[in-house]
Structure 1
């Protein structure tokens, strides 16, 4: 009996310590399941190592989600020729696909950073499911600015391009913050998502640059990259100052802020 138990334990340990099989396809589906509400069958393993390895594909997830969100938006634009309606429907589609996870992070960061005086209190507020005044104001300003940016791009016939580029580049920015900042908590998404390697982060950024070049050209890509760098620097700097690292909420705020900075850079260079 002892021998059988030892053998079973040994087999179990070997299985636990087995290397994680590399699969770019599973990376993408895992990223899609993590970053959206899209049902993905067969993906139920979200160990930190697997999430960290999948970050190279996050720009592709952004491209896919933005593409789906634009389908009804393009339909209503065809029927109404209104860039304002296009912007509203496209943003609503993205919110439905993502479950507002990034907006939730933005609101929680605004409440925590604005409402707490000590790090522990800030983190406590950020974990509270209720939304406060700072969070409401942050969401209004962020949605309003995204709406205005898409409308302005629409006047130049570039709303669809901007919508795609914002989704792509912003999701390449999130792993950068995951890499440069330590988790601020011992639990939560910021810790559970792991620390992606520089290679995986670089692959994601490189992929985002290639997609941006194809969609918008060299000059615009340079401008939006500058906007992305400024957004990451700002969010990472404020998060380090406020709570000493990153959390899932900080990562969500990174995505939203990068969209805004990319959008501003895009409009400025048109």
Structure 2
């Protein structure tokens, strides 16, 4: 049981980050039927990079805005902007295409359009702004929240797999497999355990619970929008869902 969990954990790290994890089969999508159980732990580990960057910046007496900006710079380096790329493609496709086919074609285009550029700008502004607000009160609490939200948003970002059929006959959305119930239960337990970090750092348990609900709600809304726009799931939908979940959760903590 332990070895398969470790394999799932390493598969998630390989896919969701650019960390030097051995990749015997490349950086292919994990088998989410089981791998989702390890995703909160992998997400938390990914969140350590921006959290430590934030704490280091505050220790050097940099203001909260610069500390938050450096934190997301570190996160981008670790993840390779995986989810940001999905959000940009989603915005370009939904905003620039008139038909389902046009939207899907635009989403496959690697070039960045106006809608994608605006979406990326707003995503970074909202996340940096939220962490700046939190860090003004406590750098340690902000760092703990960054770790928790990194785990929460990546797990909630898989919600579209649960309710959507693939929009294409190929691609990441078609390859993504619906998680097993037992794996989802393990993921929920791990996410709950990681939520102790922001609570121990000073966040209200009610705020933590609300952030989880809002993250799930944002991912669900992204899935339903994708269903209306393109009739199903693609890899970009998963990226957009993660970004929306991350923004929603951070805004809850900033608004307390």
Asked if Structure 1 and Structure 2 have the same fold, meaning a TM-score greater than 0.5 normalized by the shorter chain, the answer is yes
Q: Per-residue CA shift, 1:122-159, capped at 9, x if unaligned? A: 11000000010000000111100101000000112132
**Pair 134,168 (structure 1): closer, same or farther in 2 beyond 3 Å:** same
Name the count of aligned residue pairs: 249
Secondary structure of 1:265's counterpart equals helix
Instruction: Determine if contact 1:47/1:193 at 8 Å carries over to the other structure.
Output: no
Q: Shift in Å at residue 81 of structure 1?
A: 4.1
Matched, 1:77 2:62: no
- Tell me, in whole angstroms, the C-alpha distance in 1 between the residues paired with 2:29 and 2:151: 22
Matched, 1:211 2:198: no
Q: Report 1:165-244 matches (<5 A).
A: 165-216=148-199, 217-244=204-231
Greater displacement, 187-196 / 144-153: 187-196
Q: What CA RMSD, in Å, does the superposition of the two structures yield over aligned residues?
A: 2.0
Normalised to the residue count of structure 1, the TM-score between the two structures is 0.86
Q: Per-residue CA shift, 1:2-33, capped at 9, x if unaligned? A: xxxxxxxxxxxxxxxxxxx9700001001100
- Tell me, in whole angstroms, the C-alpha distance in 2 between the residues paired with 1:131 and 1:46: 23
Matched, 1:246 2:233: yes
Question: Highest CA radius of gyration, 1 or 2?
Answer: 1
Gaps of 5+ in 1: 1-20
Gaps of 5+ in 2: none
Q: Shift in Å at residue 114 of structure 1?
A: 0.6
- Tell me, in whole angstroms, the C-alpha distance in 1 between the residues paired with 2:30 and 2:17: 19
- Tell me, in whole angstroms, the C-alpha distance in 2 between the residues paired with 1:83 and 1:194: 40
The residue aligned with 2:9 is 28
- Tell me, in whole angstroms, the C-alpha distance in 2 between the residues paired with 1:100 and 1:114: 21
- Residue of 117, 128, 138 corresponding to 1:136: 117
